[in-house]
Amino acid sequence: MHILLTGGTGFIGSATLRVLQANGHSVLAAVRSEEAAHTVAQAGATPAIGDLTDASWLGALLNAADGAIHLATDNSGPAFDSAVLDAVIESFGGTGKPYVHTGGVWVWGSGTDLQESDEQDPPAITSWRAAVEDRILGADVRASLVAPSIVYGHGMGIPRVIVDAPRDEDGALHLVGDGTQHWTTVHVEDLAELYVLALEKSPAGETYIGASGVNPTVRELGEAVVGPDGRVVAESVEETRARLGEAFADALLVDQQASGGKAKERLGWNPHRPTILEELRAGYVA
């Protein structure tokens, strides 16, 4: 298929571009600059430079595509995604063309075995997502939603918050909060495979939590960074908020565990890359 990909220069998007090509798809990458166009062209995609909130420009790209994956982000949050969805619904409505939208696991709040059907309890930073996601999943589009958990790999992703955390004078690494909360995690290469599986196989209206099933505590992550001879130290909620910003800190303090069972059972997804603990213990570098 000829697939339109947004966010193709990003952490997840660049991995998804590789998987699309490995699966025999040609990729048209919507980008915002000449630099980004060069990057995706080097990766084998055809670049198209423009503004994703320009409905006529994006609509023309969608009309020429057999499917689309949306991974681009913008600081405006709901306004940006809503503009993209306007074009997707106009171009893909009633056509059966597959569209994969990006959500996030934080919307479910804390839980020991999160399922896609669970009631949501999002922290403030993701409270806008539900209205956007309900709109596309309820539209006359073969749309599915991938909700990534905390993504890692190649020395990148949110785990850098722990790797790069400050240390006390005696070398003790600061945790995010007291470190008892679990993070549900996924390797970026495994996640990219899930996006492409959703594109190729998912029926309309389905949501998939992108979680490998490995759910370490933040303390375990910190201990993996410092090694057996190192020390970690807890922070109060107030200290973590002051260091990372209240909205981001509150999301990182959510206690989540998930298996990704639905994607594994229904799409045949098989996450198998090294776990986040293995990568941290080996030295988390690009």
The whole-angstrom separation of Cα 101 and Cα 43 is 22
Strands 156-157 and 256-258, sheet pairing? unpaired
Residue partners of 256: CB distance under 8 A and separation at least 6: 105, 106, 108, 109, 110, 111, 114, 149, 181, 182, 183, 184, 215
Q: Where does 2-152+185-211+257-272 sit in CATH, by number? A: 3.40.50.720
For the chain, 286 residues long, the average pLDDT of each consecutive 10-residue run is 97 98 97 96 97 95 98 86 95 98 98 97 95 96 98 96 94 97 98 98 98 98 96 97 97 98 98 97 82
pTM, 2 dp: 0.96
- Residue 75's pLDDT is 78
- Residue 260's pLDDT is 98
Could you give the C-alpha distances from 70 to 40, 91, 94, in angstroms and in order? 15, 14, 19
- Residue 286's pLDDT is 61
Burial of 145 (0-12, 13-18, 19+ CB in 10 A): buried
| Cα 235 from chain centre | 26
Neighbours of 118 (CB within 10 A): 14
Single-letter code of the amino acid located at 148: P
- Residue 74's pLDDT is 85
Residue partners of 180: CB distance under 8 A and separation at least 6: 217, 218, 219, 255
The whole-angstrom separation of Cα 70 and Cα 283 is 31
| Cα 84 from chain centre | 17
- Residue 78's pLDDT is 87
**What value does the CA radius of gyration of the chain take, rounded to a whole number of Å?**
19
Neighbours of 94 (CB within 10 A): 10
- Residue 284's pLDDT is 82
Q: Where are the domains of the chain?
A: 2-152+185-211+257-272
The whole-angstrom separation of Cα 202 and Cα 120 is 22
